[in-house]
Structure 1
């Protein structure tokens, strides 16, 4: 148990870093205290560093040595151990661990104190609670701020590799998002009845799972119908080992459990079809309370696990009539989302060659701040959304890493993705009628 109460290597690394990179000290001086260190000699050195920093004196070996020698607190052996320790740039995890171990030591001491007061001093529960409250103040729990200075965050940002962006393989989405999805987001997919919410989300999933594992919570249709439909559209030989499908466990607690399990196994994308199928049995409040909690918990989970959750939502008739894109039953749902993608059916216009057209709207886009609105084609045979010919821009060919322009033999960018071309070839071979939208 004793070795779990402190980590001298972490303490030496922090002190060494302050000596060799004094600019790091200003970021921690107000939150890291001398008593957080386990070794008395380390406490003395850090306290001296605080004094030197506040006195506008250099935090280096000579000044620290002189101050400690004058106070008769200098330990040559400890100073040598610190100086030969390799300094580090990203101190945050080290500082957090030093403070956490201090809290564990103090909580162990508090446990002993409570036992002593109950057994030996025979104090009342009120007296013990008051003593615990006083001890919590001593622990300075309220002083453990999670704030970081801009300079510290900038250093951490520059030290870490760039956050990955995952292309969806759907050109107009990747264009609106500057390449694809960033991680840690709750993404809502909404739309008119039979506009193709599930189909668009499945198109994204099929592309993403070529390179990455993902999980689909298929609550709106049976797994048999899903397999049958994909075999019909793709081919009987179609396989997808990266796509995990769950069709049971509707409560938000069950959802969270499965998401945590698969996040640990490497899944970064989760699709839930749909919002209205999710239950929230533990919440006995109003409908809005229950619905709002779903969005809040899923948004926090996405942020905490650094994953993307795509949630298909329903819009109320009142919202649709008012051209407001927000989830049915909750005002908070739209607030919690990072991105909202909305599909709207457009009337067929055969004379102008417009059939099965949809309007796609990015009504909220925290990722880039850019809003997008445009028309897209829906192919009911291949179940694919594509940008219309002549709509401008570039199409995206999915590579698993970064968007790449799709060009013809002459080097010109075409108006249709490679996925769409393959889909149309399959539909010609199948030679079947329009797919029953009721299944989706």
Structure 2
């Protein structure tokens, strides 16, 4: 009985941050497999390729194993040979050789495995043990904070979900990256971009002149699209979403706080089929227009566009939904219509300017966390209307908060002269459909203006050089098209066959 384990629960002045220690359990680990994997890396040079994308130093439970794997990974990044001698020498240069047990311990590792055949399978088990430890750490921290009455519940929920998302994505929060790693990543990115002929490194918009300036919307960028009401913000954002999803097969999430999802889809159908929204709302279509609808809707129906029309969406809800869409559908871009209709959520109460500042910072953090561009639509103040001459917007016209222009990587304004009744521009050219996309701020490039065309009856934007006549002519009936429509000859034809009868 003297050797029987006795479980006692000692009182604690405060909750411990280590759940494993609190429960008297050993954290999940697989030391034997860690030794087998490291031994395989030391005896088989090809084994590194199998595990380099699965494991990182923190995946190992034992501190000595973390140091050994860090040395192996650094040698691999320098394209240097990896074996018992090179790793020993590298650890000696780092001053860590004695800390891991000396050359004798490395020699022992090579004797722990006879072959590297199962190294990938073993590496995945090590990774799973690391994930379990991270879940225990997050849960323990969450429990501690949940018992603290001063903790904001929404902040705690957001932080916990963020940590869990990081574990799921394999991006455990880290404090820094070394310069050698960052330079290697930058050079690799330049090499990848050099293989592209169009020069678009980010998410393409389908507008050639805009993509030339921005090289596509870049990951982690917050893009503000602002204009006065009725200028076409939503139409332009939808056109970008359509181009990205249909033409380039990249998933896009659209959060509409102003219009319902059905209204947005009707706009997309009108733009895609070149049938006016009025006809679609009334259902007043000719037979060939039904055929036109059926023909052109296929690509749009298969497009990876996800629309959420939750009203008064909070920043917390937006972040949670974006994380979920990123994990489930790998969205490459987010569109928010529009920023001023969002709520900060939680206990972030204050004046409207402070609320917009909180929303703006949160949207930027979402873009950075998920490494995707976020397009946020924004209203402009009425000061644009009182301006003399051309009423082109400037950065100071952004409504309610200067934080928007500070947080944004790109700020774009839509300007249509005909909106203000200008029938001719400064050079005497007609302004029908003429649109200027003014890039007023571009953190990583130049500011410029992009000329576009606005197709009013379809509520869509196109490149300035596109053939407008193609959008004005409906699709002609096609006898070879197979539909569910039944064609019958008119009874008036039967009447004309008899000379004795008249059609009226």
TM-score range, shorter chain: 0.5 to 0.7
For residue 258 of structure 1, what is the aligned residue in structure 2? 321
* Superposition CA RMSD, Å: 5.0
Partners of 1:75 and 1:14 lie apart in 2 by: 9
Seen in structure 2, the aligned counterparts of structure 1 residues 302 and 104 have a Cα distance that, compared at 3 Å, is closer
SS in 1 for 2:413: strand
The aligned residue for residue 392 of structure 1 is none
- Unmatched 5+ stretches in structure 1: 22-31, 50-57, 115-143, 389-414, 430-440
Partner residue of 2:343? 279
Over 3 Å counting, the alpha-carbon distance change for 1:374 and 1:61 in structure 2 is closer
Q: Give the Cα separation in 1 of the matches to 2:131 and 2:376.
A: 36
Q: Is the 8 A contact 2:434 2:451 kept in 1?
A: yes
Counterpart for residue 369 of structure 1: 445
Q: Is the 8 A contact 1:222 1:247 kept in 2?
A: yes
Q: Matches of 1:107 and 1:171 in 2, distance apart?
A: 45
Instruction: State the 1:11 CA deviation.
Output: 6.9
Report the secondary structure of 2:325's partner residue.
helix
**Within 5 A, what are the aligned runs for 1:18-57?**
38=62, 42=65
- 2:253 pairs with one of 215, 223, 243: 215
Cα distance per residue 1:165-195 (max 9 Å; x no partner): 33211222222223x2222222111123322
Aligned residue for 1:373, secondary structure, equals strand
Q: Please name the residue that 2:471 is paired with.
A: 423
Secondary structure at the aligned position of 2:350 is classed as coil
Deviation at 1:59, TM superposition (A): 10
How far apart are the structure 1 equivalents of 2:471 and 2:323?
34
TM-score between both structures, scaled by the size of structure 1: 0.61
Does residue 348 of structure 1 match 2:448?
no
With over 3 angstroms needed to count, the CA separation of the structure-2 counterparts of 1:78 and 1:104, relative to structure 1, is: farther
Q: Distance in 1 between matches of 2:334 and 2:362?
A: 14
Distance 1:102 1:8, change over 3 A: farther
Mapped to 1, the partners of 2:367 and 2:267 lie a distance apart of: 30
Change (3 A) 1:274 1:75: closer
Kept in 1, the 8 Å contact 2:423–2:432? The answer is yes
Partners of 2:203 and 2:333 within 8 A in 1: no
Q: CA deviation at 1:200?
A: 1.0
**Cα deviation digits, residues 193-233 of structure 1 (max 9, x gap):** 32211111111112112123322222222344434444444
Contact residue 38 and residue 102 of structure 1 kept, 8 A: no
Q: Does structure 1 residue 268 correspond to structure 2 residue 339?
A: no
Q: Residues of 2 paired with 1:2 and 1:326: CA distance? A: 59
Q: Return the match for 1:148 from 177, 191, 195.
A: 177
**Map 1:372-383 → 2, pairs under 5 A:** 372-383=448-459
- Structure 2 gap ranges (5+): 1-24, 46-56, 73-80, 145-172, 194-200, 276-292, 388-392, 478-504
Closer, same or farther in 2 for the Cα pair 1:421/1:332, shift >3 Å?
same
SS in 2 for 1:313: strand
Query: For 2:223, which of 169, 187, 200 is the aligned residue?
Result: 187
**How many Å apart are 1:12 and its aligned residue?**
6.9
Going from structure 1 to structure 2, the CA distance change for 1:20 and 1:223 (only over 3 Å counts) comes to closer
Deviations 1:27-53 (Å, cap 9, x if unpaired)? xxxxx89xx86276x58979999xxxx
Shift of 1:361: 1.0
| Distance of 1:71 and 1:231 partners within structure 2 | 69
Are the counterparts in 2 of residues 382 and 427 from structure 1 also a CA contact under 8 Å?
no
Q: Is this contact kept in 2: 1:199–1:384, CA < 8 A?
A: yes
Residue 314 of structure 1 and its aligned partner are, at CA, apart by 1.0
Distance 2:134 2:307 in 1: 42
TM-score scaled to structure 2, two decimals?
0.54
- Conservation of the 8 A alpha-carbon contact between 1:199 and 1:383: yes
How far did 1:323 drift? 2.7
* Aligned length, in residue pairs: 343
Residue pairs, 1:16-415, within 5 angstroms: 38=62, 42=65, 61=84, 64=88, 74=105, 76-81=107-112, 146-157=175-186, 162=192, 165-178=202-215, 180-210=216-246, 211-233=249-271, 234=273, 235=275, 236-237=293-294, 238=297, 240-241=300-301, 242=303, 243-250=305-312, 251-266=314-329, 267-282=331-346, 283-318=348-383, 323-325=394-396, 327-346=398-417, 347-349=422-424, 352-366=429-443, 368-388=444-464, 415=465
Deviation at 1:274, TM superposition (A): 0.8
Shift of 1:152: 1.8
Alignment partner of 2:414: what SS?
Answer: strand
